[in-house]
Chain A
Amino acid sequence: MDTKANILALNTAITEIKNTCPGISNIFVLDESTQLLTKDNSTTEEIATSIAKALASLIEQTVTDGRIETLTCQGPDRKVNFTRCVDNYFVTMTSTEADEKTIANLTRILVPTMIKLQEEKGSLRCKQVPETPEPIKTRQAPLDLASLISPATEFIVENLSGLSIISGSPDTIRVDRALIGQWKEMYGDRKISEATVEEIATGKKVRCKFELIKGSKLEGKGLVQIPDRIQSSLGVKKGTLVRLRPIVED
């Protein structure tokens, strides 16, 4: 599985773990060489990096085969747990009441499941083009039917702020060139000028226009740039996973 898909799966997993265990205040994932892969919004890059460095040093100095299955450091009010799963370290900060065994078990069930789902989705997407049912033509309700049959793709929310917001509309999201290409490939000459953005956990949807992400830095990273107004109506913020579906017109 490619890195983008892997990170998407990890992101979904950490969101689900955090939703299931409300005692978790922070969660992030380090790879085998303790590089930061992904983190939740409440974790700062600085803290994640400092912990990663400390873990790297511990592994290097003490564990010859590099196998730490779990590690729990408990302070008076909080605990920091490290759980190894699928060659990554899942780091969680919790209250002392939270049960680290539950978190470790949940991680070991959820993460492989999410990765497997992402893999299956990836392989389905490759086969999908000739097999996808044609969108049902209707004038009354193109949105609902399209959202039922259009393939959804998951992306990570990125802010659309600063100079970007001046050059774009506050009701327009920015998506990857590859995604637009994929939609064109699937729907041929059919007009697609709008898409639905869906918050995965709540199922809340917003219909909006879309345009290409500007600047190569954000291209190909599984990101969708969403203006603040749309983010607040969906109840999402930077780092949240959302689903995008094209609205195919007649």
Chain B
Amino acid sequence: MVKRGINVTETPLVITVERASLGQEQKTKDYANLHSILKEIREKNEILGFILKGSAYAAIDLDHNEDLAKFAILVSQLANFSKQVLNLHEEDFVRSVVLEGKELKVLCLNIRGNEIGIMMKKSNDDKEILNKILS
């Protein structure tokens, strides 16, 4: 089996986009911290990819380039859907969303304004991954 490296340059697709001017030190720190956690999870847990969208940056790291658009849309739709559904039950905040299909699983969460989407195989333990991110 091919071992994935920690370095983002070793993964098939890595995009880092500057979305706004810097100056929000804490937010940048949070983003950087989450990015390194996600890279670590990607290596150790063999997830299929992740998307991280902060207030200033966004990063996408996926096994298959062709999934990029679909995955980005799915994460965004899941975030909207869960907000809508939980608001109906007077829950004003979404902790996490887990969607399972036939073979894949997607975990979405929002940490201090950083939107995260993780694509994994159905056999992966989403709770373990969630706990790693939240720890």
- A: residues with CB less than 8 A from B are 47, 50-51, 54-55, 57-58, 61-63, 65, 67-78, 80, 93, 96
| Smallest CB separation, A74 vs chain B (Å) | 4
CB of B102 within 8 A of CB of A69, answer yes
- B: residues with CB less than 8 A from A are 70, 73-74, 77-78, 81-82, 84-86, 88-89, 91-102
Option from A54, A55, A76 in Cβ contact (under 8 Å) with B91: A76
Identify the interface centre among A55, A57, A58, A61: most chain B CB within 10 Å of its CB: A58
Given contacts A62-B73, A67-B102, A69-B102, contact A80 B94 (CB under 8 A): no
Alpha-carbon separation in the docked complex, A36 to B89 (Å)? 18
CB of A61 within 8 A of CB of B73, answer yes
Nearest first, the 6 A-B pairs at minimum CB distance are A75-B91, A73-B82, A75-B86, A74-B95, A70-B100, A69-B100
Alpha-carbon separation in the docked complex, A96 to B89 (Å)? 13
Chain A residues near B102 (CB-CB < 8 A) = 65, 67, 69
Alpha-carbon separation in the docked complex, A105 to B94 (Å)? 24
Given contacts A62-B74, A80-B89, contact A75 B101 (CB under 8 A): no
Additional 12 contacts, C-beta under 8 A, given A57-B81, A75-B86: A54-B85, A58-B77, A62-B74, A68-B101, A71-B97, A72-B97, A72-B98, A73-B97, A74-B96, A76-B92, A80-B85, A80-B86
- In the complex, 15 of the A-B residue pairs with CB atoms within 8 angstroms, ordered by the A residue number, are A51-B85, A51-B88, A54-B84, A58-B77, A61-B77, A62-B74, A71-B99, A72-B96, A72-B97, A73-B81, A73-B86, A73-B94, A75-B92, A80-B82, A80-B89
Option from B81, B84, B95 in Cβ contact (under 8 Å) with A76: B95
**Secondary structure dominating the interface of A:** mixed
CB of B91 within 8 A of CB of A77, answer yes
Option from B82, B86, B92, B98 in Cβ contact (under 8 Å) with A70: B98
| Smallest CB separation, A50 vs chain B (Å) | 6
Given contacts A58-B81, A74-B94, contact A68 B99 (CB under 8 A): yes
Alpha-carbon separation in the docked complex, A61 to B100 (Å)? 16
B96 (CB) vs chain A CBs: closest residue: A74
Alpha-carbon separation in the docked complex, A181 to B73 (Å)? 56
Chain B residues near A57 (CB-CB < 8 A) = 81
B89 (CB) vs chain A CBs: closest residue: A78
B98 (CB) vs chain A CBs: closest residue: A72
Chain A residues near B91 (CB-CB < 8 A) = 75-78
B71 (CB) vs chain A CBs: closest residue: A62
| Smallest CB separation, A43 vs chain B (Å) | 11
CB of A74 within 8 A of CB of B81, answer no
CB of A75 within 8 A of CB of B97, answer no
| Smallest CB separation, B13 vs chain A (Å) | 20
A61 (CB) vs chain B CBs: closest residue: B77
B107 (CB) vs chain A CBs: closest residue: A72
Option from B86, B95, B101 in Cβ contact (under 8 Å) with A63: B101
CB of A58 within 8 A of CB of B89, answer no
Alpha-carbon separation in the docked complex, A75 to B88 (Å)? 11
| Smallest CB separation, B131 vs chain A (Å) | 13
Chain A residues near B84 (CB-CB < 8 A) = 50, 54
